[in-house]
Amino acid sequence: MEQHYSIESKFNKLIIIVSILIPVVVAILFTIKLKDYGINVEPLSFLPPIYATINGLTALLLIFGVIAIKNGNRKLHERLMKTAIVFSVVFLVMYVAYHMTSDSTPYGGEGTIRTIYFIVLISHILLSILVIPLVLVTYVKALAERFDKHKKIAKITFPIWLYVAVTGVVVYLMISPYYVQ
DSSP designation for 102: S
- Per-residue pLDDT band for 30 (boundaries 50, 70, 90) equals confident
Q: Please name the residues in contact with 100: beta carbons below 8 A apart, sequence gap of 6 or more.
A: 29, 32, 33, 34
Average pLDDT over residues 57-84: 98
106: left (phi over 0), alpha (psi -120 to 50) or beta: beta
pLDDT band at 6, cuts 50/70/90?
A: confident
Report the C-alpha gap between 124 and 121 in whole angstroms.
5
Rounded distance, CA 179 to CA 181, Å? 6
65 close to 80: Cβ distance less than 8 angstroms: yes
C-alpha 55 chain-centroid distance: 8
Q: At 40, is the pLDDT very low, low, confident or very high (cuts 50, 70, 90)?
A: confident
- CA atoms within 13 A of residue 22's CA, in its CB half-sphere: 20
Give per-residue pLDDT as tens, 119-162.
999 999 999 999 999 999 999 999 999 999 999 999 999 999 99
pLDDT value for 159: 98
Distance CA 174, CA 113 (A): 9
pTM for this prediction: 0.91
Task: Provide CB contacts within 8 A for 84, sequence distance 6+.
Answer: 58, 61, 62, 65, 161
